[in-house]
Amino acid sequence: GENVEQHPSTLSVQEGDSAVIKCTYSDSASNYFPWYKQELGKGPQLIIDIRSNVGEKKDQRIAVTLNKTAKHFSLHITETQPEDSAVYFCAAMGGGADGLTFGKGTHLIIQP
Binding residues for other proteins, rule: CB under 8 A, are 31-32, 34, 36, 41-46, 49, 51, 89, 91, 93, 95, 97, 99-100, 102-105
Dihedral (CA of 70, 68, 92, 85) sign? positive
Minimal distance, residue 111 CB to other proteins, in Å:
20
Which residue, 61 or 104, has its beta carbon nearer to other proteins?
104
Minimal distance, residue 23 CB to other proteins, in Å:
12
Minimal distance, residue 66 CB to other proteins, in Å:
13
Sheet harboring 4-7: ordered strands across?
Answer: 4-7, 19-25, 72-77, 62-67, 56-59
Rounded to a whole number of angstroms, the CA Rg of the chain reads: 13
